[in-house]
Amino acid sequence: MAQTIPLSVPDDLLNEVRETARLTHLSVQDVFRQSVKIAGPVLRQSARPPRPKRLSVWDALASGRGLKLDIMPAGGKVKKVSL
C-alpha cells in the first residue's frame, strides 16, 4: 500500500529535482522515487555497523565477555583493566 509522506525540500534541491525531471521526461515524484531506490542501497552499504548493545554487569560476566573498567588512581592517570 502506498503512503504519502510530507517532505520539506530546500529550494536548491527542489530546483535540481525539477531540472532532472524535465531532462528525463519524468514527474518530480518519479525522480524522488528513483533517487530513493538508487541511493538507498548505497547509503546502507556506507553506514557504520551497529554498535553493540551495552550489557549489564551480570550479562557480561555470564556471556564470557568480561568487564572492562577504567580505574583512576589518586595520581589521575587512567589505567585500563580487564577482569
CA distance 52 to 50: 6
Note whether 75 and 60 are within 8 A (CB).
no
pTM, two decimals, is 0.53
Q: What is the per-residue pLDDT across 18-71, written as a single tens digit (0 to 9) for each? A: 999 999 999 999 999 999 999 998 888 888 777 667 777 777 777 766 666 666
Q: What is the pLDDT of residue 79?
A: 61
Note whether 32 and 18 are within 8 A (CB).
no
What b-and-e string marks burial along 51-81, b requiring 16 or more CB atoms within 10 Å of the CB? eeeeeeeeeeeeeeeeeeeeeeeeeeeeeee
- How confident is residue 72, by pLDDT bands cut at 50, 70 and 90? low
